[in-house]
Amino acid sequence: MYKPTLVAARHFPPAVEKRIARDFHATFNDLGRPFTQAELLAAAQGADALFVSPTDKLDAYFFANLPESVKVIASFSVGYDHIDIGAATAQGVPVANTPDVLNDATADIAMLLLLGASRRASEGQARVRSGRWASEKSRELLGWDLDGKRLGILGLGRIGRAVAHRARAFGMEIHYSNHRQLPPELEEGAVFHQNADDLLGVSDVFSLHTPSTPETRQFLCRQRIELLPPEAIVVNTARGNLIVDADLIDALKAGRIAAAGLDVFDGEPDVNPGYLDLPNVFLLPHMGSATIETRTAMGMLGLDNIDAVLSKVPAPTLLQV
């Protein structure tokens, strides 16, 4: 039976790899690190489809040099800032992402960051691990309540709304800023701020859920940090380059920002070393979608898109229409 050729730029959960082995002649990246662009282009020779992830940079050069055999690319992510969609379209290469299936897992991680930062989880955990119990428990490791606090969400899209849903159960008041105000059934009582800078002024906790675009990159800079209420908490599960790291690190050191919970970093997997010694940051290695159920669903959705394009039927989540 004819099987198309697939290049998988990373490994996937077992059920996804089983489907790949059943349906494709597949090459996986076994290097233990992302492919370089040259390696991915070399692997793509003769391939029908590529299954990539945000660590693969697919820019105009990539598409100009992509072998003609490649008929479709799926990205194992909802975010697609690593892909030049204009260049893909110009080359006639359909590109798919994996929206929706990761909303809940990513929102859960945002809540973990929010709680980890507000309840000083890194410091508490370091104490237990090093055998230093809090000596005077009534005054040490005091965090901040969430109940009654204002959560400012930049980007009340699918993931942002899942975070709002969870935060309401913690007694938080939801504020947001988007390009456009959402209809009441999607706002669910959240307060809209046309201007993102106004949102900052009411954000006791500020959580980023906007894609990385030329307009949003470096959004949270020194000047905007100054707009946040005193001792605000910053949470980022979106993309690292939405924050100017040096400015946030200065604000965390000065106590201007009480704490931060970060799952994504500018230049990851490298992390600005300034974060590493700070007690008031709760750090995770970009694991918003990292549950077996969610990563399996993402893999299956990517393969559904690849199958559909190769079979010339409408694909579920193509980025170009």
Where along the sequence are the contacts to ligand DGY (CB under 6 A)?
Answer: 54, 77-79, 102, 288-289
Partnered with residue 192 across adjacent β-strands are: 176
Shortest distance (Å) from residue 160 CB to ligand DGY? 14
Sign, Cα dihedral of 275, 276, 281, 282: positive
Catalytic residue among 120, 150, 239, 295: 239
With CB atoms as reference, the residue minimizing the distance to ligand DGY is 79
The 10 Å Cβ neighbour count of residue 122 is 18
Q: Would you say 109 or 257 has its CB closer to ligand DGY? A: 109
Shortest distance (Å) from residue 79 CB to ligand DGY? 3
Q: Does residue 136 have an active-site annotation?
A: no
Q: Does residue 286 have an active-site annotation?
A: yes
Shortest distance (Å) from residue 124 CB to ligand DGY? 27
Q: Would you say 4 or 79 has its CB closer to ligand DGY? A: 79
Q: Would you say 203 or 289 has its CB closer to ligand DGY? A: 289
Gap between the Cα atoms of 108 and 184, Å rounded: 24
- All residues at 6 or more sequence positions from 183 whose CB lies less than 8 Å from its CB, including other chains: none
Which backbone phi and psi does 27 adopt, to 5 degrees? -120, 130
Q: Does residue 293 have an active-site annotation?
A: no
Gap between the Cα atoms of 126 and 53, Å rounded: 33
Shortest distance (Å) from residue 68 CB to ligand DGY? 28
Gap between the Cα atoms of 203 and 213, Å rounded: 22
Dihedral, 84, 86, 90, 96 alpha carbons, nearest 10: 70
Q: Would you say 251 or 297 has its CB closer to ligand DGY? A: 297
Q: Would you say 77 or 207 has its CB closer to ligand DGY? A: 77
Nearest to 114 by CA among 262, 221, 222, 225: 262
Which backbone phi and psi does 213 adopt, to 5 degrees? -135, 170
Q: Would you say 74 or 252 has its CB closer to ligand DGY? A: 74
Peptide bond into 269 cis (omega under 30): yes
**In a 10 Å sphere around its CB, with 0-12 CB exposed, 13-18 middle and 19+ buried, how is residue 304 labelled?**
middle
C-beta of residue 207 within 8 angstroms of C-beta of residue 243 = no
Catalytic residue among 161, 209, 286, 295: 286
Q: Would you say 124 or 211 has its CB closer to ligand DGY? A: 211
Shortest distance (Å) from residue 155 CB to ligand DGY? 13
Dihedral, 120, 162, 301, 74 alpha carbons, nearest 10: -70
Shortest distance (Å) from residue 99 CB to ligand DGY? 8
Per-residue DSSP letters for 123-186?
HHHHHHHHT---SSTTTSS-----TTPEEEEE--SHHHHHHHHHHHHTTPEEEEE-SSPPPHHH
Shortest distance (Å) from residue 118 CB to ligand DGY? 22
Where in the sequence numbering do the catalytic residues fall?
239, 268, 286
